């Protein structure tokens, strides 16, 4: 097992290196001189001296390979560089934005796991019932509505309408409440908002972000559970004298959850690091929106630095998912072949 982990880590390092390097190089294909952009854009006719200063400051004159080498040298010392657009080190930006993404992501993930698996399980057990048929349609639709549509619908019905029509305060998830609280004191145990005011900021984005994945998890869980229900060992369990609840919970559940766990596990990385759309819709200052903005601004250090962080988290989560899968399913032997 340890050998497997080490091997995976050794492979993932060059992969990440190549990925970030790829991003590094394609930015040089972009039209527009970075120094000019930093100075405010070509249409502002920036001072050539200013441009030269910027070039010197960021080393933008140097040949690409030199810049490339310098970049990686700095990274290895945990220095992700300085933002071109803002006067901030990328490390600081990361420290600023990461907690927000983690908080939102973890809540969305919790919803996905609890709601998704429950719905899937329920509709598989009560197959052919009206509830099941409705759930099937509902989850199909929910998996197809993009977050930038569902997000606004949620906002409209839970924030705009209440405010417009003067609903009581406690029922409002206010429009102005679509930005995240900035102070750390408003969070309890890092994840739990400390008061109802804070909850109001979190609820809608978490639901919107969780939406598609919850639907996918529910669908997969239903399919997986249906397959398990037809399995021979379920019949054996019944033949041993177990009642329906016991058969499902002791023998069916764990087998059915295997593919769902993988799906959700992989989603954890995305939901924390790449929730670009949700963060944009709700003005949530997280990593995803920071990266998207930086791409638009040609702010290379920010793009590379934050993406590097996200990619690493992604890779770690994937590895954890693979390793935990072996715990769930004893048939899988890590690193070796599978039983024929």
Partner 1 sequence: MTDQVSPGAPVAPKLASRHGSGSGEVLLSVRNLEAVFETGDGIVHAVDGITFDVHRGEIFAIVGESGSGKSVSAMTVMGLLPTIKVRSGEILWKGENLLDFDENRMRRIRGGEIAMIFQDPLTALNPVHTVGRQVAEMARIHDGLSKKDAMKRAIETLDLVGIPEPAKRAAMHPHEFSGGMRQRAMIAMAIMCKPDLLIADEPTTALDVTVQAQVLEVLVDIKDEIDSGIVLITHDLGVVAGLADQMMVMYAGNQVEFGTVDEIFYETAHPYTEGLLNSIPDLVGDHSKPLIPIKGSPPSLINRPSGCAFHPRCSYARVPGVCSEQEPKLRDEGQGHMSACHFTSVDWKPQ
Partner 2 sequence: MSNLDTEVVVNSPESTVATSLWADAWKQFKRNKLALVGLGFIVFVLLTAVFADLIAPYSITDRDVGRSREGPSGDHWFGTDIIGRDLFSRVVYGARVSMKIGLAATSIALVVGVIFGALAGYIGKFVESAIMRFIDVFLAIPYIILAIAIATVFGKSENSVIIVLGFTGWLGVARIVRASFLQLKKQEFVEAAQALGFGRVRIMFRHILPNALQPIIVYGTIAIGSTILSEAALSFLGVGPQDPTPAWGLMVSQGRSDLANAPHLLFFPGLAIALTVTAFVFVGDGLRDALDPKLKDR
On the CB side of 60, CA atoms within 13 Å amount to 23
* Interface mask toward partner 2 for 242-281; x: CB under 8 A: ---------------------------xx--xx-xx--x-
Quote the CA–CA distance of 10 and 249 in Å, as a whole number: 39
Q: Are 117 and 221 in contact (CB under 8 A)?
A: yes
Interacting span for partner 1 (CB under 8 A) from 174-182, 191-199, 207-215, 326-334: 326-334
In the numeric block, which tokens belong to residue 19? Answer: 């990925």
What is the closest distance, in whole angstroms, from the C-beta atom of residue 228 to partner 2 in the complex? 13
**Cα–Cα distance for residue pair 9/221, rounded to 1 Å:** 30
- 164's tokens: 């417009």
Residue 314 · residue 273 · CB < 8 Å = yes
Using the rule CB under 8 A, give the single segment among 39-47, 111-119, 236-244, 310-318 that binds partner 1: 236-244
Residue 278 contact among partner 1, partner 2, none, beta carbon within 5 to 8 Å by kind: none
Choosing among partner 2, partner 1, none, which partner's interface includes residue 99 (Cβ < 5 to 8 Å by kind)?
Answer: none
Instruction: Enumerate residues 148-167 that contact partner 1 by CB under 8 A.
Output: none
Q: Binding partner of residue 156 among partner 2, partner 1, none, CB under 5 to 8 Å per kind?
A: partner 2
Considering the rule CB under 8 A, would residue 230 count as an interface residue with partner 1?
no
What's the CA gap between 157 and 88, in Å, rounded? 38
Of 149, 242, 253, 334, which one interacts with partner 2 (CB under 8 A)? 149
Residue 165: CB atoms within 10 Å: 7
Length, in residues, of the chain: 340
| 240 near partner 1 (CB under 8 A) | yes
Please report whether residue 93 would count as binding partner 2 according to CB under 8 A. no
| List 261, 291, 309, 321, residue binding partner 2 (CB under 8 A) | 291
The span of 99-107, 147-155, 187-195, 230-238 binding partner 1 (CB under 8 A) equals 230-238
What is the spatial distance between Cα 55 and Cα 37, in angstroms, rounded to a whole number?
A: 11
Kindly list the distances between the CA atom of residue 190 and the CA atoms of 93, 99, 253, 289, in Å, as whole numbers in the listed order.
18, 8, 32, 21
If 0-12 CB within 10 Å is exposed, 13-18 middle and 19+ buried, where does residue 223 land? middle
Question: Smallest Cα–Cα separation from 317: which of 284, 271, 275?
Answer: 271
Min separation Cβ 323 and partner 1, Å: 16
Contacting range for partner 1; rule: CB under 8 A; set: 44-52, 142-150, 152-160, 248-256: 248-256
Give the angle 133-139-142 at the CA atoms, nearest 5°.
145
Q: Kindly report the number of other CB atoms within 10 A of residue 15's CB atom.
A: 11
291 CB burial (10 A radius; 0-12, 13-18, 19+)? buried
The least CB distance from residue 259 to partner 2, in Å, is: 14
Among 231, 292, 323, 334, binds partner 1 (CB under 8 A): 231
Q: Which residues bind partner 1 (CB under 8 A)?
A: 231-233, 235-243, 246, 250-251, 254-255, 328-331, 339
Q: Which residues bind partner 2 (CB under 8 A)?
A: 12, 15-16, 18-19, 22-23, 26-27, 29-31, 136-137, 140-141, 143-146, 148-149, 152-153, 155-156, 160, 164, 175, 223, 227, 269-270, 273-274, 276-277, 280, 288, 291-292, 295-296, 303, 307, 310-311, 314-315
């Amino acid at each position: 097992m340890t050998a497997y982990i080490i091997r995976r880590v050794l492979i993932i390092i060059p992969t990440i290196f190549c990925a970030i390097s790829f991003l590094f190089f394609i930015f040089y294909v972009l039209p527009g001189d970075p120094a000019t952009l930093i100075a405010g854009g070509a249409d502002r006719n920036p001072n050539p001296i200013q441009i030269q200063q910027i070039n010197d400051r960021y080393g933008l004159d140097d040949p690409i390979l030199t810049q490339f080498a310098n970049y990686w040298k700095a990274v290895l010392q945990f220095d992700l560089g300085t933002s071109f657009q803002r006067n901030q080190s990328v490390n600081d930006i990361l420290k600023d934005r990461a907690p927000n993404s983690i908080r939102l992501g973890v809540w969305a993930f919790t919803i996905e796991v609890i709601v998704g698996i429950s719905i899937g399980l329920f509709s598989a057990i009560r197959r052919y019932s009206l509830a099941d048929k409705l759930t099937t349609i509902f989850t199909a639709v929910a998996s197809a509505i993009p977050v930038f549509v569902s997000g606004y619908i949620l906002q409209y019905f839970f924030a705009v309408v209440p405010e417009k029509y003067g609903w009581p305060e406690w029922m409002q998830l206010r429009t102005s409440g679509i930005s995240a609280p900035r102070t750390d004191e408003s969070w309890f145990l890092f994840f739990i908002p400390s008061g109802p005011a804070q909850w109001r900021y979190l609820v809608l984005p978490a639901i919107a972000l969780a939406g598609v994945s919850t639907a996918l998890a529910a669908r997969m869980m239903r399919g997986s559970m249906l397959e398990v229900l037809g399995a021979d060992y379920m019949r054996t369990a019944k033949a041993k004298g177990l009642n329906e609840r016991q058969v499902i919970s002791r023998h069916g559940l764990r087998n059915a959850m295997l593919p769902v766990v993988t799906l959700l596990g992989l989603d954890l990385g995305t939901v924390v690091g790449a929730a670009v759309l949700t963060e944009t819709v709700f003005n949530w200052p997280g990593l995803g929106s920071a990266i998207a903005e930086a791409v638009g601004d040609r702010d290379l250090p920010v793009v590379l630095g934050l993406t590097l962080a996200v990619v690493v988290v992604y890779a770690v989560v994937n590895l954890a998912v693979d390793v935990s899968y072996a715990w769930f399913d004893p048939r899988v032997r890590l690193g070796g072949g599978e039983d024929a």
